[in-house]
Structure 1
Amino acid sequence: MFQIDEKITAIIHRFNLNNYAFSKRIGVTGTTIDSIVNGRPQNDGSRKKTKPGYDVLLAIIDAFDINPDYLFGKSDVMLNSEIKSIPTYSGMPHVISATTEGHENVVFVSTKARAGYLNGYGDPDFIETLPSFKMPLLTNGTFRCFEVQGNSMVQTFYNGDLVFGKYVEALSDIKNNEVYIVISKNDGVVLKRVINHSEDQQKLILKSDNQDGNFPNYEISSEDIMEVWQVVMYASGQIPKPVDVFDKLQELESKIFNIESKIQKH
């Protein structure tokens, strides 16, 4: 790890200054800067570097707009202007679709449209290319329909099912163990159960309902999240099969019915 004197030397070089010119910029003597970056001569011929005081560090930060975390070894970014701004989650979708009467439509995102949606979710021209329709049961919010892709949520949702999501206005509104469609920079569009750690750890933990071992839990940083939709309704072409207990009960009822019929005949 670089020492504080090396950090200051790097700042001096960044602005193409010498020690004297640098000292004038921050309002200290040239000797002060020399003692920090080069050290004071000692009787044994060595040099002992002086630790900069609070006033000197503050002057450097103010004069050159230095990122304080850079000086103290917590960041490699020297200038505040170079720090990438962390996007905050938007309380409203970037684009909505509406009828001529002003009522919001449900926009449909098929599996084929997923790749384009990742780049075009905030582009009105792209959203207009997607099918949209009105759902009478979905009111008081903005809703979007996504086609399920893959088998990570099997037992709850199946490949090709349609899930209807209501836009989540704040990450803090996400409820643990509920199902959401999460759109993120790195993972695209995913359907998962969510554990919310957005406030204390700035992340979400995503879980799959399919427990065959091929879909481990993983986490996603809050700053990577672009949209979140809470699943409120779904449509499926999968007709559930009766469970084994129901099968046996139905078979038993059938046998009892046959026995009763025979008894009545006699």
Structure 2
Amino acid sequence: MEAIDDKIKAIINHFNLNNFAFSKRIGVTGTTIDSIVNGRPQSDGSRKKTKPGYDVLSSIIEEFDINPDYLFGKSDVMLKSEVAINPTYSGMPQVIAVNQTGNENVIYVPVKARAGYLNGYGDPEYIETLPSFNMPHLTNGTYRCFEVKGNSMVRTFFDGDLVFGKYVEDLRDIKDGRVYVIVSKNDGIVLKRVINRIAERDKLILKSDNKDGNYPTYTINTEEVVEVWYVTMYASKQMPEPVDIYDRLHELESKVVDLEGVIQRKGLN
């Protein structure tokens, strides 16, 4: 990573200035800039560079419309005006998987791949490392399969279940009370029941089905949302207890008949 003095030197060269002219533009002495980019002479013949202070950096950013992330090594884009405006939400997934027949595959995101997915959801090479498969009846949209982690949705979904989500193209289409997989910058991948409050507050309300008190309801700003997947199907390892509905109906009918008999006997008496 380039040192900050090299970044400042690149800015000076970009605007075809010398150190003195640059210093005047930001309101400091030429000596100050020389000590930053070239260094002060030392007794042993070496030069020791001075680190720029907050005021100097702020002046450079403001005067030359510099992207702060460029100065601090987080971006290669020097000017704010050249920084791409990233949409808060895209109408289609960054990456999809297609099989040999041209149909979309369902990409599977297991728990162990969650961290990588968050860092590389827009990276085709990373997405290609994830398992994918075709589901003939999941058509008319783009789908992802996520492995459920934790117990926040117990009563509906359990740890290790698989949920299949259809990509939501417009956040305004999110329906109150439905279950979605939300991929966000701050919270990662979560499975929640969602209340849509975008029109009123530009927020989504995320609720858990587990009511034991450890999973409070919270809100998320739409600008944090990266992907939303509407859960349309799931596969569970939790097999429900068998319920013989016919036995229950027979039992209920028997009780009704017994009750009718009691009433008739009381009527005769």
**Distance in 2 of aligned mates of 1:85 and 1:104:** 29
C-alpha displacement at 1:120, in angstroms?
A: 0.8
Provide Cα deviations, 1:8-58, integer angstroms capped at 9, x if missing partner.
xxxxx99539xxxxxxxxxxxxxxxxxxxxxxxxxxxxxxxxxxxxxxxxx
Provide Cα deviations, 1:172-202, integer angstroms capped at 9, x if missing partner.
0110110000000110000000011123211
Deviating above 2 A after TM superposition, structure 1's stretches of 4 or more consecutive aligned residues are: 13-17, 80-88, 248-253
Identity of aligned residues (%): 60
**Distance in 1 of aligned mates of 2:26 and 2:195:** 46
2:188 maps to a residue whose letter is G
Unaligned runs of 5+ in 2: 1-23, 29-62, 66-78, 256-269
Of 7, 10, 16, which residue of structure 1 is paired with 2:27?
Answer: 16
SS of the residue corresponding to residue 105 of structure 1 reads strand
SS of the residue corresponding to residue 114 of structure 1 reads helix
Cα contact 2:88–2:224 (8 A) shared by 1: no
1:101 maps to a residue whose letter is T
In the TM superposition, 1:180-191 aligns within 5 A as: 180-191=180-191
SS of the residue corresponding to residue 117 of structure 1 reads helix
Corresponding residue for residue 148 of structure 1: 148
Corresponding residue for residue 197 of structure 2: 197
**Distance in 1 of aligned mates of 2:84 and 2:138:** 38
- Pick closer, same or farther for the CA change 1:127–1:242 going to 2, 3 Å: same
Corresponding residue for residue 178 of structure 1: 178
Corresponding residue for residue 137 of structure 1: 137
Corresponding residue for residue 212 of structure 1: 212
In the TM superposition, 1:219-238 aligns within 5 A as: 219-238=219-238
- Pick closer, same or farther for the CA change 1:86–1:120 going to 2, 3 Å: closer
Is 1:159 aligned to 2:170, yes or no? no
2:27 maps to a residue whose letter is N
1:234 maps to a residue whose letter is Y
C-alpha displacement at 1:251, in angstroms?
A: 10
Corresponding residue for residue 124 of structure 1: 124
Cα contact 1:91–1:169 (8 A) shared by 2: yes
Q: TM-score, normalised by structure 1?
A: 0.62
Cα contact 1:86–1:223 (8 A) shared by 2: no
Provide Cα deviations, 1:99-134, integer angstroms capped at 9, x if missing partner.
112100000000001111001111001100000000
- Pick closer, same or farther for the CA change 1:242–1:213 going to 2, 3 Å: farther
**Distance in 2 of aligned mates of 1:88 and 1:171:** 10
Q: TM-score, normalised by structure 2?
A: 0.61
Equivalent pairs counted in the alignment come to 184
**Distance in 2 of aligned mates of 1:190 and 1:14:** 49
Corresponding residue for residue 95 of structure 1: 95
Corresponding residue for residue 168 of structure 1: 168
Cα contact 2:88–2:225 (8 A) shared by 1: no
